[in-house]
Amino acid sequence: MGLGPTPQTVGTAGVKGYTPTRLQMQDRECKRKESHIAALESHQTALEQRIAELEAELAHERLARERSSMENVSQNGSNSRHHEVNYLYIL
C-alpha cells in the first residue's frame, strides 16, 4: 500500500488535491483584502468626481459674481446716467 501512483500524479479527472486549511485561510484573506481595496478605489473615484463637480460649480458661481460686480461698476461709473450736480456757491 502507498507505493503506487496517486490519483493526482496520474491526472485523474475530478479528483482535487488537498489544500491545507492555512492556505485556504490565507487565500480568503487575500481575496477579502482585494475586494476591500477595490471598494475603496471605487469610493475614491466617486469622491474625486464629486470634488470636480463642486469645483466647477464654485468656479461658475465666482464667474457669475465677477460678472455681476463688473456690471455694477460699469453702470455706476458710466456717463450714460445723467447725474444732477448741485453746487452751492458761497460768496
Residue 82 lies in a domain: no
Question: Residue 34's domain spans which residues?
Answer: 19-76
- Listed in sequence order, the DSSP H helices in the chain are 7-10, 21-77
Domain assignment of residue 62, yes or no? yes
* Residue 31 near residue 38 (C-beta atoms within 8 A): no
- Tell me whether residue 42 is in a domain: yes
pLDDT in tens, 42-86: 999 999 999 999 999 999 999 999 888 887 766 655 555 555 556
Into how many domains does the chain fold?
A: 1
**pLDDT higher at 2 or 72:** 72
On whether residue 28 sits in a domain, the answer given is yes
User: Is position 4 within any domain?
Assistant: no
Per residue in 17-49, pLDDT tens? 677 888 899 999 999 999 999 999 999 999 999
> What is the model's pLDDT at position 40?
96
